[in-house]
Amino acid sequence: MERDTLRIDPDATGIARAAAMLRAGQLVAFPTETVYGLGADACQGEAVAGIYEAKGRPSFNPLIAHVADFTHAEEIGVFNAAARTLAEHFWPGPLTLVVPLRPGTRISALATAGLDSIALRVPSHPVAREILQAAGTPIVAPSANRSGRVSPTEADHVWADLNRRIDAIVEGWSTPVGVESTIVSCLGAEPSLLRPGGVTRAEIENVLGHALADALAETSIDAARPVAPGLLESHYAPRAAVRLNATEIMPGEAALLFGPEPPSGLDAAKAHINLSYRGDLREAAANLFSMLRRLDISGVTRIAVMPIPIEGLGEAIGDRLKRAAAPRPSQRG
Ligand code: TXA
Ligand code: MG
The pLDDT assigned to 329 comes to 60
Beta carbons within 8 Å of 237's beta carbon, 6+ residues apart:
323, 324, 328
Q: Considering every ligand atom shown, identify the ligand nearest to the alpha carbon of residue 37 and give its number.
A: 1
**Arithmetic mean of pLDDT over the chain:** 91
Residues 136 and 258 in one domain: no
Closest atom, ligand 1, to C-alpha of 197: 1
Ligand number nearest to the C-alpha of 113: 1
Is pLDDT of 136 > 50?
yes
Query: Which pLDDT belongs to residue 234?
Result: 57
The per-residue pLDDT for 223 is: 39
User: Which of 120, 180, 187 to probe ligand 1 with, by most ligand atoms within 8 A of CB?
Assistant: 180
Mean pLDDT in residue range 155-167 = 96
Asked if residue 225 is part of any domain, the answer here is no
Query: Residue 240: CB within 6 Å of ligand 1?
Result: no
> Ligand 2 centre from 30 Cα, in Å?
14
Q: Are residues 194 and 318 in the same domain?
A: no
Q: CB-side exposure of 304: number of CA atoms within 13 Å?
A: 22
Checking if the pLDDT of 224 tops 70, the result is no
Q: How confident is the model at residue 222 (pLDDT cuts 50, 70, 90)?
A: very low
CATH number for the domain spanning 10: value is 3.90.870.10
Domain's final residue, options 218, 251, 268: 218
Q: Which residue has the least CA distance to atom 16 on ligand 1?
A: 63
The answer to whether residues 35 and 182 belong to one domain is yes
pLDDT of residue 140: 98
The pLDDT assigned to 216 comes to 57
- Distance from C-alpha of 56 to C-alpha of 147, rounded to nearest angstrom: 6
45: pLDDT strictly greater than 70:
yes
In this structure, the answer to whether residues 191 and 282 fall within a common structural domain is: no
Ligand 1 centroid to Cα of residue 150, in Å, is 15
Q: Whose CA is nearest to atom 17 of ligand 1?
A: 63
Q: Distance (Å, rounded) from C-alpha 195 to C-alpha 218?
A: 6
Residue 47 is predicted with a pLDDT of: 98
pLDDT-derived band at 330, boundaries 50, 70, 90 = low
Q: What is the whole-number distance in angstroms between the Cα of residue 262 and the centre of ligand 1?
A: 37
pLDDT at 184 over 70: yes
- pLDDT tens per residue, range 192-213: 999 989 999 999 999 999 999 8
Sign of the dihedral defined by the CA atoms of residues 121, 122, 126, 131, in that order? positive
Domain identity same for 67 and 14: yes
CB 177 near ligand 1, within 6 Å: no
Question: 134 and 14: one domain?
Answer: yes
Beta bridge partners of 97: 120, 184
Is 227 a domain residue? no
- Whether 129 and 197 share a structural domain: yes
Q: Is residue 81 part of a domain?
A: yes
Question: Do residue 184 and residue 261 come from a single domain?
Answer: no
The residue out of 203, 218, 233 marking a domain boundary is 218
Which of these ranges, 4-18, 60-74, 206-220, 247-261, has the smallest mean pLDDT?
206-220
Q: Which CATH number is 251's domain given?
A: 3.40.50.11030
Instruction: Look at residues 153, 185, 218 and tell me which one is the last residue of a structural domain.
Output: 218
- More confident site: 231 or 161: 161
For residue 93, give its domain range.
6-218
Provide the percentage of residues in the chain whose pLDDT is more than 90. 79
Q: Whose C-alpha lies nearest to ligand 1, atom 14? A: 142
Q: How many A from CA of 63 to the centre of ligand 2?
A: 10
Average pLDDT, stretch 133-141?
98
252 pLDDT tier (thresholds 50, 70, 90): very high
Q: Are residues 17 and 125 in the same domain?
A: yes
Sheet holding 241-243, edge to edge: 241-243, 302-305, 254-257, 271-274
Our answer on whether the CB atom of 220 is closer than 6 Å to any ligand 1 atom is yes
Residues 214 and 252 in one domain: no
Number of domains in the chain: 2
| Residues 67-90 as b or e (16 or more Cβ within 10 Å = b) | bbebebbbebbebeebbebbbeeb
